Structure 1
């Protein structure tokens, strides 16, 4: 028995009860969202992080000087006030760095998710994982050592315009790689030097931890500068592609 519907006048088929086909789902096109404001906020916060790092290096040098005086000339060479001041400076800088890092991380991840969403509109098939991983990928242990970097590279590639003649343009992702290496190295160094300071029980150990912390703060400065370059460059690339189209004007 055939269930093929007979075609009534006008060519519009009549479907028996229960056989009406489900209409295809309506797809809502994505909408580009400007990352410019968020990029400016991230840049300002990273500049604040840089200022905190400079302050922290000064505190590290002060601790190194105080601990070095104790090592060279004995405990009586350093007053109680000087020792307390060195410890207070470290506590204040640690608090400022922690607050600065937290605020910067929140705004950066919001920016990162935004440019990832724009990248999917530019190149719908250019990503291995859903856009939610632009947030979640930062919080999964071990996976966060690789996944955000891969998302950053995919977003960078998706945001790159073709050459003026429409041909494929080589994708240079060096700034992405250098930024990510510096960021991971900075996080590792911060953990190691924090442990060195917390476990220091002698003036020699305190002096060594001060050296380690100053080097870690210097690496944090490098990572912050590279992050600013990465944020500004990727944001500019997306702005150009959104305003000029997928092919570069010149």
Structure 2
């Protein structure tokens, strides 16, 4: 059924008006403001909000934040590489101890390895915390931007873009759901992007999180040299697995940032006309 007002475009499901006429009724001022900008010159920041079911949404550029997240993820990768080296050094010392080598040389090597692991662990933690803060700001911004592109395509409220990472249990799938909704809303209307990259990044994130929890628990429970060696092997796996996880995160962040920037610069999309019945 065509729109009861303009009779040109298809009516939204369950209603009598098309999306364009519904948006004009909800918030006519932003619609006029957007129309004043030609498509090639559409800015990545607007002074007036777009009305969506989740409240007013402003379009703001994610480019700077996206680049900052990518750089910080690069720092995380570097600290993980150093941590892998420190884990290998520790494994060498623990292997010598398990084989029965004792004395001041192995004790001195164990002290150096322990200090090295401690330093790299601190560097990893600092890099990780800085990345988390900037990533959450970026993630919330692209979530709000996605409402400007598609006000009706989001199953989680925008507050979950941050809370979804913190609340136990729901953090296993809420962030992925929000990422997919934002990805779809930011995807080119003529050629929607596949979910493969989002799913690959999220799968590796979950596996890496489980590996980190398992290795941390094993390290806390280890007492003997043999147990410490086994725990360190698990830590080595977790540190090594975090490297490709961070690489996929970089690809995801840059891809979504680029899609939103391109879509903002291409201007508003008109609904596709349908043939009269």
Q: TM class by shorter-chain length? A: 0.7 to 0.9
Deviation at 1:217, TM superposition (A): 0.8
CA RMSD for the aligned pairs?
1.8
Distance in 1 between the 2:186 and 2:253 partners?
13
Question: 1:246–1:69: structure 2 CA closer, same or farther, 3 Å change rule?
Answer: farther
Would you say 1:41 and 2:63 are equivalent positions?
no
How many positions carry a matched residue from both structures? Answer: 219
Q: Which residue of 2 aligns with 1:183?
A: 205
Distance in 1 between the 2:118 and 2:104 partners?
23
Would you say 1:135 and 2:145 are equivalent positions?
no
- Give the TM-score taking structure 2 as reference length: 0.75
Deviation at 1:212, TM superposition (A): 1.1
Q: Which residue of 2 aligns with 1:211?
A: 233
Q: What secondary structure does 1:137 align onto?
A: helix
Runs of 4+ aligned structure 1 residues displaced above 6 Å come to 24-27
Would you say 1:85 and 2:143 are equivalent positions?
no
1:225 maps to which of 225, 247, 250: 247
1:180-236 per-residue CA deviation (whole Å, 9 max, x = no partner) reads: 111111111111111112211111112212211111111100110000000000000
Question: 1:126–1:25: structure 2 CA closer, same or farther, 3 Å change rule?
Answer: closer
Q: Which residue of 1 aligns with 2:222?
A: 200
Q: Which residue of 1 aligns with 2:256?
A: 234
Would you say 1:96 and 2:123 are equivalent positions?
yes
Distance in 1 between the 2:177 and 2:252 partners?
14
Distance in 1 between the 2:27 and 2:181 partners?
27
**Structure 1, 217-226 or 204-213: larger mean CA deviation:** 204-213
* Structure with bigger gyration radius: 1
Q: Which runs of 5+ in 1 are unaligned?
A: 1-23, 164-168
Q: Which residue of 1 aligns with 2:81?
A: 54
Q: What secondary structure does 1:124 align onto?
A: coil
Q: Which runs of 5+ in 2 are unaligned?
A: 1-24, 29-48, 51-56, 270-277
